[in-house]
Structure 1
Amino acid sequence: MSTATGQAPTAPSGVDHPSLVPALLLADALSPAAGPRPSRRGVRRSVRDWVVDVSLFLLALVVGLVFLAEASSRPDPPPDGLLFADLVLGCLGCLLLWGRRRWPVGTALLLALVGTVSDMSGIAVLVGLFTVAVHRIGRPVLAVATANLCALAVYVWLRPDPDLPVPVFAALCVLVMAAVVAWGMFVRARRQLVVSLRDRAVRTEAEQRLRVDQARQLERTRIAREMHDVLAHRLSLLSMHAGALEFRPDAPPADVAAAAGVVRASARQALEDLREVIGVLRESGAPGAVEPPQPALGDLPALVEECRQAGLRIRVGYRVPELATVPPSAGRAAYRVVQEALTNVRKHAPGTVADVLVAGGAGTGLTVEVRNPPPVGDEAPGHLPGSGTGLVGLLERVSLAGGTLEHGWTPEGEFRLRAVLPWPAPVAVA
């Protein structure tokens, strides 16, 4: 005999065979679940679904037949008509298990109705209840559990067991039903946790790819900025000397040779600088790659002298205690500011005098200022067009160093490029 949740305490009762319940629940827990609903119309069962469903059907049928045989072999067996109805309804209950994936709630309710009089359908009733607990939450589970309680009351009234008191038998059946529902909710929570962890892993992997792409883009931007700062300076020198050769074809041979030597040296240096930058680009992802040394503020006099030799007129004022004492980040940014400013002077104001001022100290900050008047007359031969991105790159570089950058025409009619960079005071040692 059977209830909505278990078997009677006699030999065919599911309560007397508790070892079958964990095996039944474990078999269903191993079935795949692809979301809140176990199956939809038009979705075909997988191989694993077929294995689980066939196993559950055979288990419910075989165990139900065993229960029915034990019930018929008791000293006081039920009437033959009841046994025949039990057999028919039990087979019907086992067949209903094939619809549990598509209609879990409806199947569980029908099985509860069958379990009011059928001992053979006990395992099928448990499977239907467990399926609802796994694939539904809230009201459907409560409705099916209530239907099973009502079926239990009807079963106790129709087929009371003489070996156990009714309260004991009902309590055992309620415990089995509660265990089935709890196990189903646990399986559901575990599946949701697996799905959540899988989604989190996918999101983490996507975020990691995004961070890698961002880092790669930042590295490319940094290398492009270095290429601009280095090559613009070298190519402007080349343009200036090549323009002088073109503008003065009748110059003395010694001057032509000197200008040609400067052009050759500048071209060679430009190629070396380009090779260094491209080498960084190629080896930036290699383990243990070492970048070439970056310029510092102590290299500024050499830059000024190189520009003077190229024909640019420069007045320089140093108002710092020592150029080498400037922090590396601030010194590198200041060097690039002066380099870009002098390159722009050669491009846009050839023939003018550039005034460079470097002032500051520890605790007060570092100020770099380059001024030049507007160009006079026509553009010089070999004038280089501006890319329009040099000042933008400088602004980003100075901002990353924690400073500020200003540029524009002053009321005196001069173009001024001014950068203020942090220079923290030394920490006193107690």
Structure 2
Amino acid sequence: MGKLRPEYRWLLPSALETPVPTRRSTRDWVIDTLCFLIGYGFCVLATYDLLSADFTFVPEWRLTPPWLAWLDFAVGTVIGIGLWWRRGRLLIPLAVFCALVSIFTVAAGPASMIVLFTVAVHRRFGVLAVFAVTALATNAIFPLLRPEDGRPYGQTMGWGSAFIIISCLWGMVIRSRRQLVLSLRDRAVRAESEQQLRVAQARTVERTRIAREMHDVLAHRISLLSLHAGALEIKPDATPDEVARAAGVIRASAHQALQDLREVIGVLRTDRSDGEPEPPQPTLGALPALAQESRSAGVKVNLDVRLEPASVPDGTGRTAYRIVQEGLTNARKHAPGTAVRVDVAGSPADGLAINVRNPWPIGGPSGAIPGTGTGLIGLTERTLLAGGRLSHGRTPQNEFVLTAWLPWPHESKSPEPAEAAV
């Protein structure tokens, strides 16, 4: 998140009671100068009026003793000078001083209103309420100590209370507006940060998709290449025809692996709408071809599909295909020469069940073909994301079994493009 500008730090909850001193901006200098001229200017004029014998704004104040007028001037001077530091830590002491002297002072009236207004802008409502109630109380006492002839007590107190309430409400409105601006700015900064985080997460997810898809597609092809190359290595006396056939199979497998790699990278780099299939994505209908590829590499595969592949939803079929593909790939890697049995069965009511098993190799799993060890981990994640479950391990019957269950969503298959056109 971006840093908060210094002039807005006082809006933070932790800074409400002890605001951090900041440098004044040009706007602050203009406002502070105007407040000083209003507050202290009225103090000078009022003191001159109190000491003048010719004319006064309030005739009853003509009888004000000189000592009281000079005391009033001194109080107004202190408050007027304090207006320059009302934004910092001196605000509360200055407000307390104004609350005490407001009982008798005339010259410091506008300056005291400015201080109360500043409290409303820079402090929370609880602090403002204390000073507002105090100001209303002193305003009720002031007409008793310095009454105005010809004006009833209620009128004098009413006007003073009105100015106090207006100052408080005005300050609260400005504080709320500034907090709203700060909140909107904070949301904008947060939204930008979250957008950057989403971009980083999207890149990570895309890289994971590419790695998983490349593993699923290429591991199968490369294992076939390794088996055919191993057959040539252990049979140096092979006839030229056998070598040519094996080389042809190796060349075809390598070509197919490169083709699959191009298609996977091309698909994962293409922007597609949500829910749109991503070719090449084989489904259960491609299981016979997958089994035949393994048989051509010398693996005995017994495939038993007890359902109609076309009736399985495409998403479920793609996940099932990857599970069977990974099971055959692991069997070729770690248990070469064994027979693999693949059973696929299910219904919309029971879900789709997949079972891939092969005898446990004598001497333990073979490491002739290296693997990353993450194939089954990625397959488990893929199955969980599809809403199913997957387990694997050695059984008491000395077999390695890979079992999976996938939900069979009750959804109608979308029509083919030609059917949709009709």
Same fold per superposition (TM over 0.5): yes
- The residue type paired with residue 34 of structure 2 is S
- 1-structure distance, mates of 2:152, 2:56: 18
- 1-structure distance, mates of 2:410, 2:82: 83
Structure 1, 275-284 or 157-166: larger mean CA deviation: 275-284
Tell whether the 8 Å contact from 1:96 to 1:111 is kept in structure 2 after alignment.
no
Superposed displacement of residue 214, structure 1:
3.5
- 1-structure distance, mates of 2:369, 2:232: 16
Superposed displacement of residue 267, structure 1:
1.2
Q: Alignment partner for residue 178 of structure 1, among 165, 170, 173?
A: 165
Match of 1:56 in 2: 35
Local SS of the residue matching 1:315 = strand
1:423 and 2:399 matched: no
TM-score between both structures, scaled by the size of structure 1:
0.80
Structure 1, 311-320 or 114-123: larger mean CA deviation: 114-123
1:34 and 2:10 matched: yes
Match of 2:83 in 1: 97
Structure 1 segment 281-300 matched on structure 2, within 5 A: 281-283=268-270, 291-300=278-287
Structure 1 segment 297-316 matched on structure 2, within 5 A: 297-316=284-303
TM-score between both structures, scaled by the size of structure 2:
0.82
Tell whether the 8 Å contact from 1:362 to 1:426 is kept in structure 2 after alignment.
no
Give unmatched runs, 5+ long, in structure 1.
Answer: 1-30
Match of 1:123 in 2: 110
- The residue type paired with residue 416 of structure 1 is V
1:254 and 2:236 matched: no
Superposed displacement of residue 118, structure 1:
3.9
Q: Percent identity?
A: 50
1:229 and 2:216 matched: yes
Tell whether the 8 Å contact from 2:9 to 2:19 is kept in structure 1 after alignment.
no
Superposed displacement of residue 406, structure 1:
2.3
Match of 2:142 in 1: 155
- In structure 2, relative to structure 1, the CA distance for the partners of 1:124 and 1:275 (3 Å cut) is same
Match of 1:354 in 2: 340
RMSD: 3.2
- The residue type paired with residue 108 of structure 2 is S
Local SS of the residue matching 1:162 = coil
- 2-structure distance, mates of 1:344, 1:351: 12
Match of 2:376 in 1: 391
Q: Alignment partner for residue 337 of structure 1, among 323, 326, 329?
A: 323
Superposed displacement of residue 280, structure 1:
3.9
Structure 1, 263-272 or 145-154: larger mean CA deviation: 145-154
> Taking CA–CA contacts closer than 8 Å with sequence separation of 6 or more, which of the two structures ends up with the larger relative contact order?
1
Local SS of the residue matching 1:357 = strand
1:239-283 CA distance string (max 9 Å, x none): 011111111121000110111111111111112222223334544
Give unmatched runs, 5+ long, in structure 2.
Answer: 1-6, 413-422
- 1-structure distance, mates of 2:230, 2:382: 31
- 2-structure distance, mates of 1:45, 1:246: 84
Tell whether the 8 Å contact from 1:314 to 1:354 is kept in structure 2 after alignment.
yes
- In structure 2, relative to structure 1, the CA distance for the partners of 1:379 and 1:413 (3 Å cut) is closer
Local SS of the residue matching 2:62 = coil
Superposed displacement of residue 39, structure 1:
6.8
- In structure 2, relative to structure 1, the CA distance for the partners of 1:257 and 1:172 (3 Å cut) is same
Tell whether the 8 Å contact from 1:364 to 1:424 is kept in structure 2 after alignment.
no
- 2-structure distance, mates of 1:378, 1:204: 54
Tell whether the 8 Å contact from 2:221 to 2:257 is kept in structure 1 after alignment.
yes
Match of 1:74 in 2: 56
Superposed displacement of residue 378, structure 1:
9.7
- The residue type paired with residue 407 of structure 1 is H
How many matched pairs? 394
- 1-structure distance, mates of 2:193, 2:143: 58
Tell whether the 8 Å contact from 1:225 to 1:393 is kept in structure 2 after alignment.
yes
- In structure 2, relative to structure 1, the CA distance for the partners of 1:50 and 1:391 (3 Å cut) is same
Tell whether the 8 Å contact from 1:300 to 1:335 is kept in structure 2 after alignment.
yes
1:414 and 2:399 matched: yes
Q: Alignment partner for residue 241 of structure 1, among 228, 253, 260?
A: 228
- 1-structure distance, mates of 2:407, 2:20: 69
- 2-structure distance, mates of 1:37, 1:344: 65
- In structure 2, relative to structure 1, the CA distance for the partners of 1:426 and 1:42 (3 Å cut) is closer
